[in-house]
Chains A and B, each alone.
Chain A
Amino acid sequence: MTHPTTAVPVAAPKNGRETSLEQQRLRAAFWFLAPMLLMLFCVAAWPLMRSIWFSFTDTSLTDLHGGKWVGFDNYLSYRQLSSGRVIWRGTLVDPAWWNAVWNTVKFAVVSVSLETMFGLVVALVLNARFAGRGLVRAAILIPWAIPTIVSAKMWGWMLNDQFGIINDILLNLGLISEKIAWAANLDTAMAAVILVDVWKTTPFMALLCLAGLQMVPGDIYEAARIDGIHPVKVFFRVTLPLIRPALMVAVIFRMLDALRMFDLVYVLTPNSAATKTMSIISRENLIEFDKFAYGSAQSSLLFAIIAIFVALYIWLGKVDLGGEKSK
């Protein structure tokens, strides 16, 4: 005040004061994240927990709050008959469920493998310099931009046994002798679904691969040319190892998508045992068969299978999702 020079001992800063900047930063970070965490809780965590809860009850669609706890009965239970015979019940011994699991895995592995391969080829082409590259890059995205329902219906007509253009072309070329019901036939339904999925999703894969390719510095290709290394070897020894991280992430995205495949199968091959996926069958039980709790158990299993699969993939493939290596 009047004696600004009066020596007032300066209080030693407390520890709390010293870290206050850090605390402020953490607090700010929390408030920035809070809306998203709340949203994620509402749309992801809460429904997931509800489904898992339902799977341990005998809830029915008509009375969502009246379910009673039944333990693991929806997954697996057994009853011993008076004759001494044991009858197993539950999703885990349901042949329809295991058929769906097998269908889903088959679909996911085959379609994602093909998409990765074709996507990489397309990306390599798009990465090269040629006239009209911008136009081709945009055009190739069209299949991906079309809503699945629309492309499924469109392919449904093209694959139609009576009026489909594909049968017409194959007949005219003499490759088949009679019209084939591609989507309805048990032998070809899965192939049809995979075909459409590959057609639709290859552009997405190509885009992710292209992003990876563009991260590879161009000068190392020149160094390889001076070293006299064959382009094919350059691809396998230089390009592929360098885009592997991007490729692994792309594959995991697609795998997550493919394992929960629903819309394309639902529209293109409804009710075909050859293509029913886990999502399809759990929806059937949840809504159509009024076995709500049973369907919930299948949904929970689907979640568990995907979670285990992804964890294994990240662990075995040493996928660097956190970006630690590139630091």
Chain B
Amino acid sequence: MAHIQLHDVRKSYGAVDVIKGIDLEIQKGEFMVFVGPSGCGKSTLLRLISGLSSITSGDMLFDGERVNNRVPSDRGIAMVFQSYALYPHMNVYDNMAFGMKLAKAGKEETRARVEKAAEMLQIGHLLDRLPKQLSGGQRQRVAIGRAIVRDPRVFLFDEPLSNLDAALRVATRLEIAKLHHDMNNVTMVYVTHDQVEAMTLADRICVLRDGKVEQVGTPAELYERPNSTFVAGFIGSPTMNFLEGRFADSYRCNTLGVRPEHLDLSETDPVWTGEVVHAEDLGSDSFLFVDVGAKQPLVVRQGGHQVIPYGQRVGVRPREGHLYRFDAQGLPCN
């Protein structure tokens, strides 16, 4: 369990600044997710916290203690890598016990800790297998198990689900959420580029953009009160519709944002009208793409099956109180 503080943390590789001054606090036992597009510095920030990379300037504190120059193994962290990073020549048990064995921990204690972690993750029957004999999902669980055995105060995840297929990703996501619930005294920091993972797992999300923090908040806060067009566009699926020009002018802003789920078809009192140019039917929902004359067709989310032929003109009406107005800088208007 650790309270992590970052004060003006910067990282540059030569002349390239990757992390450009980050101030952030991660509470004890919190599940913090770093999210952002590729190249935003989220993985670099995680490596700085882990100690695998050293910070160029600024301060990093674990429980008030400066850890800038502590090596990774002294920070009380465990890390789950995107590629699992299992030792290919060791079986599952040895993979999980390796660190403890070489730290001269007692055999009994090592066995107890490995078996407890294996039980938590339901990989007890795999302890004799080599990594190459496991499926991707099992490997990822072993990697998580290895992290649990370290009994860390901070758990770091670097895009742990990226190499799994869609079904496994959902299942493993659930397990990670359960893990957080079971180990509620351990601080977890999780990096992903997938906003769904961020929304479903996080206590708080930190949206990063170009080496800086764009917004930090609970998933609901980011969804309801994004403080820039970037966050508004990044959080939520499908992404928010942005309207500019004459559409925005009538709302006295530069960019008008409205989420697909906050748009309704309206025959009697439409605000915008246009042709249906495309439709996606997901069974539970339908997404209609309506060309109202803006740069992009407006995406309208409708419950259930909506059989509307392409080319038909429909009227669209946004729900009151769910419009986001942004100024020319992409910041919210009051």
Residues of chain A having any CB pair with chain B under 8 Å: 217, 219-220, 222-223, 225-230, 233, 237-238, 241-242
Closest CB-CB distance, A129 to chain B, in whole Å?
12
- Report if A225-B73 is in contact (Cβ < 8 Å); known contacts: A220-B85, A220-B86, A241-B89: yes
Q: List 26 A-B contacts (CB under 8 A).
A: A219-B81, A220-B87, A220-B88, A222-B79, A223-B79, A223-B81, A223-B86, A225-B52, A225-B71, A226-B50, A226-B52, A226-B72, A226-B73, A226-B77, A226-B150, A227-B73, A227-B98, A227-B150, A228-B71, A228-B99, A228-B103, A229-B98, A229-B99, A230-B102, A238-B89, A242-B89
Closest 3 CB pairs between A and B? Answer: A228-B73, A227-B99, A219-B85
Q: Which residues of A contact B182 (CB under 8 A)?
A: none
0/1 per residue, B63-78, Cβ < 8 Å to A?
0000000011110011
- Report if A237-B81 is in contact (Cβ < 8 Å); known contacts: A226-B72, A227-B73: no
A-B contact count (CB 8 A): 57
Whether the Cβ atoms of B52 and A222 lie closer than 8 Å is yes
**How far, in whole Å, are A141 and B320 apart by their CA atoms in the complex?**
74
Whether the Cβ atoms of A228 and B89 lie closer than 8 Å is no
**How far, in whole Å, are A219 and B52 apart by their CA atoms in the complex?**
11
**How far, in whole Å, are A1 and B298 apart by their CA atoms in the complex?**
59
Q: Which residues of B contact A237 (CB under 8 A)?
A: 98, 102
Q: Which residues of A contact B78 (CB under 8 A)?
A: 226
Q: Which residues of A contact B72 (CB under 8 A)?
A: 225-226, 228
**How far, in whole Å, are A303 and B86 apart by their CA atoms in the complex?**
43
- Interchain CB contact (< 8 A) of B81 among A222, A229, A230, A242: A222
Q: Which residues of B contact A233 (CB under 8 A)?
A: 102
The residue of chain A having its C-beta at the shortest distance from the C-beta of B74 within the complex is A228
Interface size, B (range): 20 to 34
Whether the Cβ atoms of B79 and A226 lie closer than 8 Å is yes
**How far, in whole Å, are A223 and B88 apart by their CA atoms in the complex?**
12
16 new A-B contacts, CB < 8 A, other than A222-B52, A227-B73, A238-B87, are A220-B85, A222-B79, A225-B52, A226-B52, A226-B73, A226-B77, A227-B150, A228-B71, A228-B72, A229-B98, A229-B99, A229-B102, A230-B102, A233-B102, A241-B89, A242-B89
The residue of chain B having its C-beta at the shortest distance from the C-beta of A220 within the complex is B85
Q: Which residues of B contact A229 (CB under 8 A)?
A: 73, 98-99, 102
0/1 per residue, B240-283, Cβ < 8 Å to A?
00000000000000000000000000000000000000000000
Query: Which B84-125 residues have C-beta < 8 A from chain A?
Result: 85-89, 98-99, 102-103
**B83 at the binding interface (Cβ < 8 Å):** yes
Whether the Cβ atoms of B102 and A227 lie closer than 8 Å is yes
The residue of chain B having its C-beta at the shortest distance from the C-beta of A325 within the complex is B132
Q: Which residues of B contact A226 (CB under 8 A)?
A: 50, 52, 72-73, 77-79, 150
Residue from A227, A229, A230, A233 with most neighbouring chain B CB atoms (10 Å): A227
